[in-house]
Chains A and B, each alone.
Chain A
């Protein structure tokens, strides 16, 4: 099993190297590493490979909403050079352009809201579809067979369900945990599958995108504070056991604390996943910087090793995000948060 996994990982890393070769073969030092940030960031098109001068890309819809012009739909190909697939201000289309940093802009500099189906949005849909299929097929096993021993996807999902319910929700939230189990389960599986699928070669760095971690952290923040009981708010605005004069300092700190918790959630996941991707791509970039087969072999081995670590990180980060969400919710619904 381990040998198979290693072989597969090596193969995948080699694939990544091979796909990257033509892009990197020529160009300045900066070009040799620019693909790292390009991969890590979101994009208006999904670029898989460049073979010779042929770009293998998936064009994606660009959706813009503006107060004066309403909802508009374009394709990413509208904004780029058809030969080089490069974005730039000079390739503007119907008053919009995508600059060389993959930023959507308006020629007349008016305000607009971007709702494009970017690379990460497509990745998001894939993860959602995968997760929905997984969970629904697992659930159908119980619908068909009733409360019996799990099989198939149910056997994969069930231990996770039990783990999240017993080890995360019940232990961190306390007696009122049942209400929050579905959210924590969805959260855990979304982050976990997002992390794992993001490790596939050519996949997008979805869970390492700050917009995604921001949204998830905001959801936890909302759930925590909506469910906050009297003790929780009392602890924030009239911290027990603190002299009234000190409250002037403590209350602002507590209020800032409300926001630092989801902020920490957001940053932790974003950094952990993005850093992992950067390290893997960095090792791949070494081969092109040194233009040496020996370095290529060493970096492939290192990429394999980091990939294995990333499998671990993917799980740990999903666990940590879910655990901390559960703990924040737990502190909000606990009957006696602190015994001063």
Chain B
């Protein structure tokens, strides 16, 4: 029952045998001989595509492919920079962060549906064996209960890390997050207690064929709530540092982990304990003509698009990862847009009232940045529809759309 492999298969729930990595591998080689009727039914890449090619995670500059690249990150503390690294994918990095948190702080707890077996995506593998069933345990299927319970434990000074199995399942727990977790400090007032020890992890985003209840990106719903910190990491190194920061943070944090990256994104991750700054964006690539703001998985598509745009159009594009989506780092974005005069926001969630709307509005509200704008702020995001089973890849921002919009804001 507690065999670490017991739920291994669930982690591959997204493809019959072999999860997203295999999916990507299959997609990156030319599609094997399928009959024409089946060729593009789900999320395979179009044949002869020039831009919408599968992301090659083994070469993308967004991942640290060497220990040198990983340890060169200036945000790491000196002792970690002088330490070692290990090749990890995103779920292993999450596991590493949880393991460090459990080891360094007795008040850290990890629980959720099936987490004692390692969880659907293997993020909590072996933690129950190592740290004991009283600190890492399964809960019943009760999302509202899980978060209410976690908030109570946090109010007592514990540091619970609660897992919601898929971000799509969080809605019954929404009340607990909005009305309890976020408002706790404000309500408690003079007693000085809060639910600040709370961290909620949930896998989000498209994966190829998740359909209505396994592909949503609900981050914008949480960004509306003062009191919460909403975080989405782009890579294993980032996930480890941001998760540790969230666990140590004294505000309730919601971490959305792009599930397609769990296995696909592999990089060198420092083995030491380190936290990356919350509410701080990161300029991934400097440029002078257009600013592309994104977070999570679409950053890889942005990177491919801007590389091509720079080659074709002879321009220089700046790429910013928001990392914390709320409260977000306006200054870094404003500074960039004041330099480039053009901005494009890219996210996977649907466009209506999304993070792109907030970023675009903030840019035009800031007088100095507004006066520097050479073109309207553009958004590339998911369609304002429910995620259908079919054609999921078309529902998400793709390289061609991002490329096209870089071009558009330049030509405005």
A binds B: no
- Which residue numbers of A lie inside 8 Å of B, CB to CB? none
- Which residue numbers of B lie inside 8 Å of A, CB to CB? none
